[in-house]
Structure 1
Amino acid sequence: MNDLTLRSATPADVSALLDFWKSAAEGTSISDDEAGVGRLIARDADAVIIAEREGRFVGTVIAGWDGWRCHLYRLAVAPDARRQGVARALLDAAHQRFVALGGRRADAMVLDRNALGRSAWEAAGYAPEPQWSRWTRPLG
């Protein structure tokens, strides 16, 4: 694990992030485009945490903070880097960010059909809250 580097995203990472998520993340979102990811990085580059080995993306997480709640998105690890502590390192960095910002609880968006992702979140101490249902509406 000592060869793992964590860093914040830069505007130059937008295309590489989109390519990485196509191979390492389950599913896509309507905001998974250059404009959407570019806006996120321009607004809060530290929210996008990238794990690299030898200059290659091996993991990401988006640790969003709206001033009130902590939200986690796009926890993704390259298939050949799974079960090597990458997700744990990313979540530890996200949790440190949240605590420094004053956050008290983090929530994660996990697709129901993503069994691998669900097991990773459970291993990190997250659990579904059955009293909540996620409702969404595309804007625009």
Structure 2
Amino acid sequence: MSDLRIRAAVPADVDAVLAFWKDAAEGTSISDDRDGVARLVARDPEALILAEREGRLVGTVVAGFDGWRCHLYRLAVHPRQRRQGIGSALLAAAEERFAGLGGRRGDAMVLQHNENAHHAWRAAGYTPEEQWRRWVKPLVE
């Protein structure tokens, strides 16, 4: 994993992120467009976290904080790069961000039909609530 680079997205990454989500993310979102992602990066420059290997985008997570709760979206790892610790590294970076902001509880939006994601979130210590729509993990004991 020493060749994995975790960093915040910058405006120049928007098109690459959108292309990546078409291959790696399960399903689409109403905000999966250039304006939506650019708005996210402009509003909260640390929220969109990227994983790169050899200069190529291999994973993403959106780690949003509203001042009270921590929210995770768009955890995606390139299909040929899965099960190599990339998702765990992205979640660790997101949780570190949340802790630095004073966040105490994280929740994740996960598609109900995405069984692979359910296993990954469980392995990361999140548990399902509200019929699998939201996953939560206390960040402070």
Q: TM-score range by the shorter chain?
A: over 0.9
2:128: which partner in 1? 128
Query: Structure 2: which 5+ residue stretches go unaligned?
Result: 135-141
Q: How many residues in Structure 1 have an aligned counterpart in Structure 2?
A: 134
State the 1:128 CA deviation.
0.8
Residue by residue over 1:4-25, the C-alpha shift from the partner in whole angstroms, topping out at 9 and shown as x without a partner, is 0000000001110000001000
The 5 Å alignment of 1:18-57 reads 18-57=18-57
What TM-score, normalized to structure 2?
Answer: 0.92
Instruction: Report the CA distance shift for 1:122/1:30 in structure 2 as closer, same or farther (over 3 A).
Output: same
1:113: which partner in 2? 113
Q: Which amino acid in structure 2 is aligned with residue 93 of structure 1?
A: A
CA distance in 1, matches of 2:116, 2:86: 14
**CA RMSD, aligned part only?**
1.4
State the 1:130 CA deviation.
3.5
2:74: which partner in 1? 74
Q: Which amino acid in structure 1 is aligned with residue 93 of structure 2?
A: A
What TM-score, normalized to structure 1?
Answer: 0.92
Residue by residue over 1:44-90, the C-alpha shift from the partner in whole angstroms, topping out at 9 and shown as x without a partner, is 12100000001100100000001111000000000111000000000
Query: Structure 1: which 5+ residue stretches go unaligned?
Result: 135-140
State the 1:34 CA deviation.
0.2
Higher fraction of strand: 2
